[in-house]
């Protein structure tokens, strides 16, 4: 071995000298000491590893057995980390009707994430502050059962569901459960042991007026929206994993589709009216909105369309693609029976959202600011308010376009699917810290997983579940939860929103006052 190393050393030094000097002047090679021989050996090993690593990135050598990582060559020549994927295993499910145990129960991300979560995550602390002093006892939790569609238990990295007979609209409960299962796939081994009660219907039911006394212990109930008079805990809605009944794909796919739709026309090329499409029958406020539609006698600068979902289902939803509705300079948001799922899709269009004063809020809306992310619209005099908003926007195109872009960026960046998972992750972890009991699996509960929910499904329900499946754990840690607002910060934030809204109302009043004087 020593003799072989010396030969390699001699060849190395000879080639080096030939490159540096005239070969005619150098006709011999100096003998090297044992120390130099060791150095050359180490150098050659280092050189081999460098070359081998380079070749592995080119797809020629698999160093997985040395590094524990897998690499692949991609079309755009960008090197990406490739980790194991775990697709649905319906064969195993159909044979045993038990959840597979092949998915990782823990993981170590390659790219630890030290980024702070978006600002709206701070409202997690506000939603849970009602239990800050008392904690959540078993007795308090059970009080929420009468409102719930299901109890969800996470214990030792497994998820269990106890279903109740309470009516659930369409398949909201199914896709909500599926979303939580995907969180377990996204962050395996990182979810705490807990029990929660979940209501999948629209309006909040835990009235604040019933729990005004300190330490009165309101029942902790999760749902998709709440309001300032209620204590329900808001949670991302089911449509992030797909809304099969309306042919709305999972959020990752929808974000991509809407981005492509935005490219079809620049904002200034779009129709200079306010657009809304939906079902006006679900609430009085929507019926009232339809009075603002363009008629031969009156033009409120709005184009409002009735959406008949039954008719659209017969036509294959060809006229209801959300990505094809980014064609107007302004989009209108109006609540339905409660908050509306349409909110995030409307904001994503790069057009200013004309936001009719709501009663309800979802998990992200509290982080958005009037005049920065949207344009506030009075709910008491919608037609005039909408007319002024469109006129103002068409006369201040740069400012209006900036509002539309800011609102859209908020949705595409702060609301990307990774942040949706992070929001749920932090919400559940902060909730678990308040528990004063040890979670247990009820006798009637069943374990759920991607297979138990997706494999028995068919049609578009199965299609969307496969599309929303998280096949591999996240490459990053969850973002860092920002601290709660102190009372002064919260007061200032709310006052900022109120002030911005009042400024718009004052501008609107002045506009109509001047117009009335002319006539």
- Which residue matches tokens 């569609």? 149
pLDDT, residue 83, reads 62
289 and 232 fall within a common domain:
no
Domain-embedded: residue 509: no
pLDDT, residue 517, reads 84
Local confidence band at 305 (pLDDT 50, 70, 90 cut-offs): very high
Per-residue pLDDT tens digits for 91-101: 989 899 999 98
The three-state (H, E, C) secondary structure of 35-102, written as one string: HHHHHHHHHHHHHHHHHHHHHHHCCCCCCHHHHCCEEECCCCCCCEEECCCCCCCHHHHHHHCCCCCC
pLDDT, residue 519, reads 67
pLDDT, residue 312, reads 72
Question: Comparing 106-120, 246-260, 275-289, which segment has the lowest mean pLDDT?
Answer: 106-120
pLDDT, residue 119, reads 96
Domain-embedded: residue 438: yes
406 and 263 fall within a common domain:
yes
Local confidence band at 30 (pLDDT 50, 70, 90 cut-offs): very low
- Rounded Cα distance between 117 and 123, Å, is 12
Domain-embedded: residue 73: no
Tokens representing residue 25 in the block: 């002047």
pLDDT, residue 308, reads 77
Instruction: Tell me how long the chain is.
Output: 519
- Burial status of residue 52 (CB atoms within 10 A of its CB: 0-12, 13-18, 19 or more): middle
Q: Which helix (H) or strand (E) holds 460?
A: helix 459-468
335 and 449 fall within a common domain:
no
Tokens representing residue 227 in the block: 């309001």
Asked if residues 149 and 164 have their Cβ atoms less than 8 Å apart, the reply is: yes
Local confidence band at 289 (pLDDT 50, 70, 90 cut-offs): very high
What's phi and psi for 235, nearest 5 deg?
-140, 140
pLDDT, residue 167, reads 84
Per-residue pLDDT tens digits for 40-91: 444 544 544 444 444 443 433 333 332 333 323 334 434 455 568 899 999 9
- Rounded Cα distance between 253 and 384, Å, is 37
Local confidence band at 307 (pLDDT 50, 70, 90 cut-offs): confident
Q: Is the predicted pLDDT of residue 153 greater than 60, yes or no?
A: yes
Per-residue pLDDT tens digits for 404-444: 999 999 999 999 999 999 999 999 999 999 999 999 999 99
- Rounded Cα distance between 260 and 326, Å, is 10
pLDDT, residue 215, reads 66
- Rounded Cα distance between 375 and 391, Å, is 12
217 and 183 fall within a common domain:
yes
Tokens representing residue 142 in the block: 């059970």
Domain-embedded: residue 65: no
305 and 436 fall within a common domain:
no
Structural domain harbouring 133: 90-237+417-484
- Rounded Cα distance between 435 and 135, Å, is 6
290 and 232 fall within a common domain:
no
CA 32 to chain centre: 63
226 and 136 fall within a common domain:
yes
Q: Stretch 256-264: mean pLDDT, rounded?
A: 93
pLDDT, residue 199, reads 97
Q: What is the DSSP string of 428-440?
A: HHHHHHHB-S---
Q: Among 373, 391, 411, identify where a domain stops.
A: 411
Asked if residues 53 and 68 have their Cβ atoms less than 8 Å apart, the reply is: no
CATH number, domain with residue 380: 3.40.50.2000
pLDDT, residue 114, reads 74
> Would you tell me how many other CB atoms lie within 10 Å of the CB of residue 129?
13
pLDDT, residue 56, reads 40
pLDDT, residue 166, reads 84
192 and 334 fall within a common domain:
no
Asked if residues 364 and 414 have their Cβ atoms less than 8 Å apart, the reply is: yes
- Which residue matches tokens 């678990």? 432
Asked if residues 416 and 479 have their Cβ atoms less than 8 Å apart, the reply is: no
Domain-embedded: residue 271: yes
Asked if residues 171 and 244 have their Cβ atoms less than 8 Å apart, the reply is: yes
185 and 155 fall within a common domain:
yes
Tokens representing residue 486 in the block: 């102190």
- Of 218, 215, 220, 221, nearest to 134 by C-alpha is 215
Q: Is the dihedral of CA 287, 366, 342, 401 positive or negative?
A: positive
Secondary structure of residue 120 in the 3-state scheme: helix
Collect all residues with Cβ–Cβ distance below 8 Å to 494 and sequence separation of at least 6: none
Q: Is the predicted pLDDT of residue 212 greater than 90, yes or no?
A: no
pLDDT, residue 319, reads 65
pLDDT, residue 8, reads 38
Domain-embedded: residue 242: no
114 and 172 fall within a common domain:
yes
Tokens representing residue 92 in the block: 């195993």
Q: Stretch 353-380: mean pLDDT, rounded?
A: 97
Domain-embedded: residue 223: yes
Domain-embedded: residue 268: yes
Return the exposure string of 72-89: e unless at least 16 CB atoms fall within 10 Å of the residue's CB, then b: eeeeeeeeeeebeebebb
114 and 233 fall within a common domain:
yes
260 and 405 fall within a common domain:
yes
Question: Comparing 8-12, 374-378, 494-498, which segment has the lowest mean pLDDT?
Answer: 8-12
Q: Which residue has the higher pLDDT, 60 or 220?
A: 220
Asked if residues 338 and 225 have their Cβ atoms less than 8 Å apart, the reply is: yes
Backbone angle region of 230, left / alpha / beta, with phi > 0 → left and psi within -120 to 50 → alpha: beta
pLDDT, residue 15, reads 37
* Structural domain count of the chain: 2
- Rounded Cα distance between 503 and 508, Å, is 9
């Amino acid at each position: 071995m020593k003799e072989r190393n010396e030969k390699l050393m001699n060849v190395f030094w000879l080639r080096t000298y030939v490159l540096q000097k005239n070969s005619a002047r150098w006709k011999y090679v100096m003998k090297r000491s044992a120390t130099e021989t060791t150095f050359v050996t180490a150098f050659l090993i280092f050189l081999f590893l460098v070359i081998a690593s380079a070749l592995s990135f080119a797809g020629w050598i698999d160093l997985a057995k040395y590094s524990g990582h897998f690499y692949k060559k991609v079309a755009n020549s960008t090197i990406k980390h490739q980790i194991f994927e775990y697709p649905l295993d319906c064969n195993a499910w159909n044979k045993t009707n038990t959840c597979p145990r092949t998915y990782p129960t823990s993981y170590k991300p390659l790219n630890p994430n030290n980024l702070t979560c978006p600002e709206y995550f701070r409202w997690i602390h506000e939603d849970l502050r009602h239990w800050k002093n008392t904690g959540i006892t078993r007795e308090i939790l059970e009080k929420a059962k009468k409102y719930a569609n299901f109890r969800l238990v996470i214990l030792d990295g497994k998820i269990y569901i106890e279903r109740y007979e309470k009516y659930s609209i369409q398949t909201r409960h199914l896709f909500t459960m599926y979303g939580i299962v995907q969180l377990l796939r996204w962050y395996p081994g990182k979810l705490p042991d807990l029990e929660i009660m979940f209501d999948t219907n629209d309006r909040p039911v835990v009235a604040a007026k019933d729990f005004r006394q300190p330490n009165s212990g309101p029942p902790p109930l999760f749902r998709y929206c709440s309001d300032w008079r209620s204590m329900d805990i808001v949670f991302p809605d089911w449509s992030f994993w797909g809304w099969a009944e309306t042919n709305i794909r999972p959020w990752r796919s929808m974000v991509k589709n809407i981005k492509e739709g935005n490219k079809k026309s620049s904002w200034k090329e779009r129709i200079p009216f306010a657009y809304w499409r939906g079902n006006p029958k679900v609430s009085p406020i929507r019926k009232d909105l339809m009075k603002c539609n363009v008629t031969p006698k009156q033009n409120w600068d709005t184009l409002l369309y009735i959406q008949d979902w039954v008719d659209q289902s017969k036509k294959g939803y060809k006229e209801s693609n959300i990505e094809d509705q980014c064609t107007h300079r302004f989009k209108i948001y109006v609540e339905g029976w409660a908050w509306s799922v349409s909110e995030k899709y409307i904001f994503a269009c790069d057009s200013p959202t004309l936001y009719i004063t709501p009663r309800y809020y979802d998990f992200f809306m509290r982080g958005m600011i009037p005049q920065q992310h949207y344009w506030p619209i009075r709910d008491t005099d919608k037609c005039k308010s909408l007319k002024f908003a469109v006129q103002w926007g068409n006369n201040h195109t740069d400012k209006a376009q900036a509002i539309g872009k800011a609102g859209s960026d908020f949705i595409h960046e702060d609301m990307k699917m990774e942040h949706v998972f992070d929001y749920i992750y932090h919400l559940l972890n902060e909730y678990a810290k308040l528990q004063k009991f040890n979670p247990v699996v009820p006798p009637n509960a069943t374990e759920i997983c991607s297979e138990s929910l997706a494999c028995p499904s068919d049609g578009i329900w199965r299609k969307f579940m496969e599309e929303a499946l998280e096949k591999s754990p996240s490459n990053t840690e969850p973002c860092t939860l920002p601290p709660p607002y102190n009372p002064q910060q919260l007061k200032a934030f709310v006052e900022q929103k109120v002030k911005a809204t009042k400024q718009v109302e004052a501008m609107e009043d002045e506009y109509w006052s001047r117009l009335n004087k002319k006539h």
